[in-house]
Amino acid sequence: MAKEKGKKLLIVESPTKARTLSKYLGRNFSVIASKGHIRDLPPNRFGVKIDEEGFKPSYVIMKEKRGVVDEIKKAAKEASEIYIGSDPDREGEAIAFHISHIIRRIKKPEDIKRVLFYEITREAVKEAIKNPTEIDLNKFNAQQARRILDRIVGYKISPLLWKSVRKGLSAGRVQTVALRFIVEREREIRAFKPETYYVVKAVFEKNGEKFTATLIKSPDGKKLQKIKDKDYAREILEILKKNSYVVKEFKTRDRKQSPPPPYKTSTLQQDASSRLGYPPKRTMKVAQELYEGVDLGGERKGLITYMRTDSLRISEKAIETIRKIIKENFGEELLPQRPRTFKSRGSSVQDAHEAIRPTGFEFPDTIRDHLTQEQFAVYNLIWKRAVASQARDAIFEVKKAVIENSGFQFKAEGEKLKFPGFYTITGESPRENPIPHLEPGEELKLVELKVEEKQTEPPKRYTEATLIKTLEAREIGRPSTYAPTISTLFERGYVEKEGKFLKPTELGELVSDILVPRFKEIFDYGFTAKMENELDKVELGELSWQELLREFYQRFKEEFERASEDIPNIKKENTEVLDEKCPLCGRPLVVRWGRYGKFIACSGYPECKYTRPLEQETVEGEKCPVCGKPMVIRKGRYGRFLACVDYPKCPGVKPISTGVKCPECGGDIVEKSNKRGQVFYACSNYPECKFTLAHKPVPVKCPECGYPLIMEVRRGKRFYYQCPSCKKTFSPKDIKVLL
């Protein structure tokens, strides 16, 4: 915080970034952080006035940022000059605009300057401070238009879901389209009917080297890669057994493989997902840390350029550095004659920044001790990709043979790495499938002739990486939107993971089925992509942001009004009436959606509040303490509990016991849940006894210290036991004999 009169003030959005920059700028500068946005549309009302004049947003200071705003005002009052250095993208420009808005009554406009940090290194920061600019109103207007678009969709459509399904659900302009991709792919998979086909293969040997060829043509030229008739495949086999195999044609050529370009946001997220298993949100968090600055043993430094970019361009200076690294560390033979350039797709807006690259090109292994495991993994990916992008092509020797028997033709293809090129830098080992050199006319030695039975396969579910690739290819969303979009799908319970693949939940399919048919244009792939391109035009100053919103709202309003009128039909379509009466009031029972999924409720709600789980799990041996009837497991606000089968008609409830006694007072250890839904275990005599455990107790004495119980600990796929007293851990095999 600026204390001395006359100091210059730099305002950034991140405390980490502030710490790094303060090291570079010295005593003449105070550096403070806004901690993200300080003004936004109001949280509890629509906040956009729509009339003939256009779309007027009503921005308010965010409740949690009032203290930060007071801090900024105080620091601005004492400063001689003010620099706003939020991120160099639309969101950063909006932060800069709103900071400027609250301090322009304190300072003259000429005292407020905008600075852009594309990399956070001493040299780049000082250069940016020397060359300040103005706030880019076109860029701010593009962000403002996006924010209002998203507010219109979210604030207007989400209540339709609340009224027809349940509260807490949400719709989103890009989110719902991403969900649509996942749901439609799932439907394709379900509708897919596998077909059986047969492939004829021959294994040959030459000079001790075996290779495989596949039957491709019959004597009359008919394609035979997929034979539908098994008997026909066997007939072919009998013919082939009678005659020899002769090489009809053999060709050798070189195939060049160019290195991939340096990373942009989407390709970094894709590679981190497929290679490291990191979800996009985690990747962006780690990349942000690398951009904002890491302590390298006494010196803080941003290790990568700005990580939200669609550009593939690298500066001439960076290319010179990379070429020097390749020459000195990997050999001159890996250096192409001329530097490589990569062309970005899309508008010039998307090429405004550089690609993601290291700032100082520190070798990953030399700074490994200063980085977390995640930081090292992501930096290593970025470093290798950027450096390899300027290396020579890899060269493969490709061999192709056509082999004939009785007019039937087989094809064999082989590939062998001849020159590794950029693979030397990435450390990858490309797949090879070498075949020996053959001569036309030579007869081959057959080792094996076989028919393989195969089936056509359905399309694969999306992974996070392939979903991002699809969204980008269809020009839906932008780099900054992919990670939060996918995270929201998980948070809302619309999507779940099965292995590494994304699978829509029943709720996700329901939401998609309600929204997509009723908002055919708003959630259309082409229309969503068009809106992204229109936002780019706003940023370039080629389109008015009000005009963009007018065009969108005209179409939206028509669909929204029709959907609003259809709410009774939506509820009817998605309400399952059971052949069972409510035990409290006698009205029909129905299946409804709630916070924890489907449940059975009285159709007379809210007058009658009878509910029960869709599937009741009766607990053997447990009787209701009130009426003596069986008890079932129910889920409530604070987790699972036992309730009378006639609950709430009968109020009998009790906690779920683990069957293990409390080592401190002898009470039962029961299952509990906190406000965040996290399960823990506690003594039933609480609050007199405050004994608790983080993990499920097991009635086995600790083999190490003799404590009367141990805990069953599950960490993802890992499973082991631990003593809560001596903290010693045991494998399942160690404990199995004691159970």
The mean pLDDT value of the chain amounts to: 91
pLDDT at residue 712 tops 60: yes
Mean pLDDT of 367-381: 96
Beta pairing partners, 251: 400
Please state, in angstroms and as integers, the Cα–Cα distance from residue 448 to each residue in 66, 194, 204, 438, 452, following that order. Answer: 78, 28, 7, 18, 12
Residue of 303, 302, 319 lying closest to 262 (CA atoms): 319
Q: How many helices (H) and strands (E) does the chain have?
A: 19, 34
Overall fold of domain 144-191+460-569: Topoisomerase I; domain 2 (1.10.460)
Tens digits of residue pLDDT in 53-89: 789 999 999 999 999 999 999 999 999 999 999 999 9
Average pLDDT over residues 177-199: 96
C-alpha 55/C-alpha 124 separation (Å) is 39
Residues paired with 722 in a beta bridge = 711, 729
Q: pLDDT at position 617, please?
A: 72
Do residues 626 and 644 lie in contact, with contact meaning Cβ atoms separated by under 8 Å? yes
> What's the rounded Cα separation, in Å, for the pair 612 and 337?
73
Q: Is the pLDDT of residue 677 over 80?
A: no
Proportion of the chain above pLDDT 90, given as a percent:
74
CATH number for the region 196-258+394-455 comes to 2.70.20.10
Lowest-pLDDT range, 141-145, 234-238, 296-300, 550-554? 296-300
**Does the pLDDT value for residue 351 go beyond 60?**
no
Domain boundaries, the chain: 8-135, 144-191+460-569, 196-258+394-455, 265-388
CATH tag, 8-135:
3.40.50.140
721 is catalytic: no
Q: What is the arithmetic mean of pLDDT over 458-481?
A: 92
**pLDDT tens digit sequence for 493-531:** 999 988 889 999 999 999 999 999 999 999 999 999 999
* Mean pLDDT across 730-736: 85
Lookup: tokens for 440: 């036309």
Q: Which two tokens stand for residue 33?
A: 């952080």
**Beta pairing partners, 446:** 204
Instruction: Give the mean pLDDT of 35-51.
Output: 93
The total of other beta-carbon atoms located within 10 Å of residue 132's CB is: 15
Pick the CATH number of 265-388 from 3.30.1330.10, 1.10.10.10, 1.10.290.10, 1.20.58.1690: 1.10.290.10
What does the chain come to in residues? 739
Q: Edge-to-edge strand order for the sheet containing 653-654?
A: 617-623, 630-636, 639-644, 653-654
Name the region of 716 (left: φ>0; alpha: ψ -120 to 50; beta: rest). left
Would you say residue 2 has pLDDT above 80?
A: no
What local confidence, expressed as pLDDT, does residue 596 receive? 67
**Range 170-197 average pLDDT:** 96
The answer, yes or no, to whether the previous bond of 687 is cis (omega within 30 of 0) is yes
Cα(722)–Cα(696) distance, integer angstroms: 10
pLDDT digits (tens, 9 = 90+) for 600-632: 889 888 889 888 777 777 788 788 989 988 888
Residue tagged active-site, from 24, 278, 306, 681 = 306
Distance CA(693)–CA(229), nearest Å, equals 63
DSSP string, 377-436: HHHHHHHHHHHHTTSPPEEEEEEEEEEEETTEEEEEEEEEEEE-TTHHHH------B---
Share of the chain above pLDDT 70, in %: 97
In the structure, what pLDDT confidence band is assigned to residue 675 with cuts at 50, 70 and 90? low
Residue 3: what pLDDT? 42
Q: How confident is the model at residue 1 (pLDDT cuts 50, 70, 90)?
A: very low
Q: What is the pLDDT of residue 25?
A: 92
- Between 132-141, 584-593, 670-679, the lowest mean confidence (pLDDT) is in 670-679
CA dihedral for 221, 226, 231, 235, sign (positive or negative): positive
Closest by alpha carbon to 30, among 61, 71, 89, 87? 71
Q: Is the pLDDT of residue 340 over 60?
A: yes
How many whole angstroms separate alpha carbon 437 and alpha carbon 252?
9
- Please give the pLDDT value at position 638: 67
Cα-Cα-Cα-Cα dihedral sign, residues 423, 427, 432, 437: positive
